[in-house]
Every structure is written in C-alpha cells, then in structure tokens.
C-alpha cells in the first residue's frame, strides 16, 4: 500500500470516528508521525494532503526538515533542555513539556515568538515514562501559563501500549477531565488534547482528542533509530 493510500484510509477513519462522536472532522488534526522515515515519505504524505508532521528526535527533525517542503511541524518527543534551542520557535506545537525549566528555556530560545506548548501527563502513573502525574499537573500548568513567550495550549498523553484500543479509554477520559479542571483553574481555555496513535486514535477521538499522532498507519512500520 502506498503512503497516499494509507493517508486516505486514516483520514477516512478519522472522519468516520468524528461523525460517530458527533464532532466536526475539522476539530481533529492528524499529526503524521514521520520519525525514522525519509523526507521523501513526508513529501509523499504532504502531496496526498497531510499538513502536519510530528518528529520526536531533535537531530532527525533538524536534518530532515529542509528537504520536506512547506509543512507544519510538531515536536512530540521528550525534549532535553540542552536541545530546546533547536526546537523553540521552529515548530507549531511542542507536545511534551514536563518541567518549568524546559518551558523557561523554550521561552528564552523562542526569540520573541510565542511558542505554543502542551504539558505531557502520565495519566497511568508509570515511573519510567516522561510526563507529570495528574497530581502535579495543576501546579506546573499554573507556572507554565505564567511564562512570557510560552502559550499553554493543552495536554498530551501516551498510554501504555496495548493490543486492545479500548484499553486506552480510561487514560483518554482522565486527560480530558484533567484538561477541563485545569482550564477552570487557570481561567483560560486549553483547546488542545493530543492523544491517540495508530492503534487507538478512534477511541481518542470519541474521548475528545483534537490532535491524533499517527505514524505506523500512515508510513508503515518503523526501523529503529539510535538517537
């Protein structure tokens, strides 16, 4: 199957999930996760209609980007503070901010632009993954919302891998509930919920996802990279 055909299939599945959920398809952005795939794959997906692309290795993004044409980039991986300067002001949205220090560094490096970010929340509380716990999210959200140069747009999560898409539902619902609470708490809208990947994006859409991060279903299986 070509990338164009897979893209069309994913898009149709997103639209069908939106319709089942009583949502407009325009409410959901498909972030095509192109990590480990070459620039030619990005161009192929863009030609088929994809507008938003996600990377989670800094070096790969920096190297690939010039050959990809005019597309919107999302940084979806964990970001080390010493690499913030390669991403700040360079991407439409940074999905996985989990410390105030990182947000401050991004603001410093964004050089006068307003950098939109999401806080990554580890809803299931796994110790090995990035992201804050739901308990510590409110304090971090308040602190980040007060950093000039940063715009806190919402939350992202990545539930533990599971064969059954429905296994992700509790995490997605918890993230949506947390978003509502934080938005009340901050007195500002938090419009973005980044959740759902190839295996569970339809469930995420029924739970309110505004950004689904879909790699394998669009680009095929990945090799591994050592970054």
Ligand X SMILES: *Cc1c(COP(=O)(O)O)cnc(C)c1O
Residues that bind ligand X (CB under 6 A): 33, 35, 56, 76-77, 158, 197-199, 213-217
Least separation in angstroms between residue 106's CB and ligand X is: 17
- Least spacing, CB of residue 155 vs ligand X, in Å: 13
Decide whether 113 or 216 has the Cβ nearer to ligand X. Answer: 216
Nearer Cβ to ligand X (56/104): 56
To ligand X, the closest distance from the beta carbon of 108 in angstroms equals 24
Strand partners, 31: 52, 213
Nearer to ligand X, 149 or 179 (CB): 179
CB of 38 to ligand X, least distance (A): 16
Q: Among residues 206, 226, 223, 204, which one has the least CA distance to residue 214?
A: 204
Query: Phi/psi of residue 17, each to 5°?
Result: -65, -40
For residue 78, how many C-alpha atoms fall within 13 Å in the half-sphere facing its CB? 12
Q: Provide the β-strand partners of residue 211.
A: 29, 194
Residue closer to ligand X (CB basis): 130 or 138: 130
Q: Which residue is nearest to ligand X (CB)?
A: 215
Return the number of the residue (149 or 215) whose C-beta is nearest ligand X: 215
Least Å from the CB of residue 95 to ligand X? 7
């Amino acid at each position: 199957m070509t990338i164009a055909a897979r893209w069309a299939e994913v898009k149709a599945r997103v639209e069908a999930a939106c319709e089942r959920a009583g949502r407009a398809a325009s409410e959901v952005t498909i972030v095509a996760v192109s990590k480990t795939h070459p620039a030619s794959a990005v161009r192929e997906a863009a030609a088929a209609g994809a507008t938003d692309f996600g990377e989670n290795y800094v070096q790969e993004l920096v190297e690939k980007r010039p050959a990809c044409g005019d597309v919107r980039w999302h940084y979806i991986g964990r970001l080390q503070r010493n690499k913030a300067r390669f991403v700040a002001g360079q991407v439409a949205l940074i999905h996985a901010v989990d410390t105030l220090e990182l947000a401050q560094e991004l603001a410093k490096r964004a050089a006068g632009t307003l950098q939109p970010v999401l806080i990554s929340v580890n809803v299931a509380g796994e110790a090995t993954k990035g992201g804050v716990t739901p308990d510590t999210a409110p304090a971090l959200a308040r602190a980040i919302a007060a950093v000039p140069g940063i715009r806190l747009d919402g939350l992202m999560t990545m539930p533990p891998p599971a064969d059954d898409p429905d296994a992700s539902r509790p995490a997605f619902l918890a993230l949506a509930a947390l978003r509502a609470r934080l938005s009340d708490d901050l007195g500002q809208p938090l419009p973005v919920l980044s959740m759902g990947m190839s295996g569970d994006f339809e469930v995420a859409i029924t739970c309110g996802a505004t950004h689904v991060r879909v790699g394998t279903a669009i680009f095929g299986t990945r090799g591994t990279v050592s970054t």
